[in-house]
Amino acid sequence: MSIKSNITLYYLFNLFRQSFFFAPVVVLFFQANNLSMTEILLLQSIYSIAIVLLEVPTGAIGDYFGKKISISIGAFLFFLGLSIYSIGTSFTIFLIAELVAGIGSSLISGSDSALIHGSLKNIGKEKDYKKVEGTANSFLLTGFLIAGLIGGYIGGYSLRLTMICSAVSAFIVFIISLFFTEPKIKVEGEKEAYKELIINSIEIVRENKLLLWLIFYSAILTAFAYVLGWYYQLFFIKVNIDVVYFGWLYALLGIIAIVSSKYTHQIEIFFGNKGSLILLSSLIIIPSILLGKIASIFAVSLFAFHQIFRGISKVIFNERILSVIPSSKSATILSINNLGNRFFFALLGPIFGYLTDAYSLEITLLSLGISVFSISIIMVVIYNYILNKSISKSQAP
């Protein structure tokens, strides 16, 4: 296979990558196996902790041994994790599944975007990265949408069968990964040792204040978005929507994410550099607060804001991060970014799960929205300070 074929393969890889047939009914699946909301989000927290511990080392594996190797091993382990889920009936078995899937996910994370960025660079089309990544993200969301639509019906028959179908989809992802071609990356001087690669990548992040801010802002917003995503099904139940229609709702909302992803570039041009960053936080704040106040079937449409965030956030953050870092360390630094996402989710997940069990869904959603609003204000102030300081340095004699 040629380097050019990586683009087509990347689209197919993303189409099946999140074909999670269990998505519309996963909370019901856990509850059917006697897990509380606290335990459900604790599982996701443990999954995130596994990624936190492995994200940077596995990202460096992509840079040191090759993106394709990292992606293929990761895809197989993710398939194995879902297979364990398919036969699990207890918190302990689900925990093992989460850890295996977490290792797999961390091996893919960062290396996938780095592989396609390197491939475009090899064929002289680096400027097309945002367009290609946006299209790939729309494929990913399309796969999620179709699987969710079908999964709603499958879940009405058997909740466990949705897990089995998802494992089959993960196996297809593994097969596709075997056909990627490793892009050639030019490295100045001798190739860094594995340990030095990690240390030097961390140093780049530490010294570049704007890059550090981007990673932190991406991490905290994405973490809150992860949390919000776990409350769709509880809200659907609260407003008396039948489980059979969950898949349709996921599909309809998913279309919004797909369209948004496809037009990320235009959205960013319209809102501008700073405006786009403010928009991202607003897409979490607005639905969280309003859903906490409005218990109506019509309020389901508010999840559209969250779907727009899903569609555009990864493309916006990754493009900005990749534009200021060396290609030889791209997978490692993107993994540092993803590490941050999972680290904050690992902290936040059990807290909001406890709020739901101890108080109510309404209090949980309101707390989430208010938290994002407060943190966003602080982050905007810091962003302005960094920009002003940078301008002052550039104007200094």
d(CA 149, CA 142): 10
d(CA 95, CA 114): 29
Indicate the pLDDT class of residue 289, thresholds 50, 70 and 90: very high
pLDDT tens profile 249-269: 988 888 898 888 878 888 988
Instruction: Return the biggest CA–CA distance within the chain.
Output: 72
The number of C-alpha atoms within 13 Å of 39 and in the hemisphere containing its C-beta is: 15
Q: Give yes or no for a contact between 117 and 129, defined as CB atoms under 8 angstroms apart.
A: yes
pLDDT tens profile 310-367: 889 988 888 888 877 877 777 678 777 777 887 898 889 999 999 999 999 999 999 9
pLDDT tens profile 90-121: 899 999 998 899 888 888 877 888 888 888 88
CATH architecture of the region 5-180+192-395: Up-down Bundle (1.20)
d(CA 266, CA 249): 26
- C-alpha distances in Å from residue 81, one per residue of 28, 37, 104, 292: 19, 21, 8, 34
Beta carbons within 10 angstroms of residue 88's beta carbon: 19
Least confident of 72-81, 118-127, 173-182, 205-214: 118-127
What phi-psi label fits residue 20: left (phi over 0), alpha (psi between -120 and 50 degrees) or beta? beta
- C-alpha distances in Å from residue 354, one per residue of 46, 309, 347, 358: 15, 25, 12, 6
In one-letter notation, the amino acid at residue 316 is I
DSSP SS3 for 324? coil
Q: Give yes or no for a contact between 113 and 318, defined as CB atoms under 8 angstroms apart.
A: yes
Q: Collect all residues with Cβ–Cβ distance below 8 Å to 81 and sequence separation of at least 6.
A: 97, 98, 99, 100, 101, 102, 104
Least confident of 62-71, 153-162, 385-394: 385-394
d(CA 271, CA 281): 13
What predicted TM-score, i.e. pTM, was given to this entire model? 0.75
Q: Which residue has the tokens 């490793």?
A: 182
The answer, yes or no, to whether residue 229 has pLDDT greater than 90, is yes
Q: Which residue has the tokens 């946006």?
A: 134
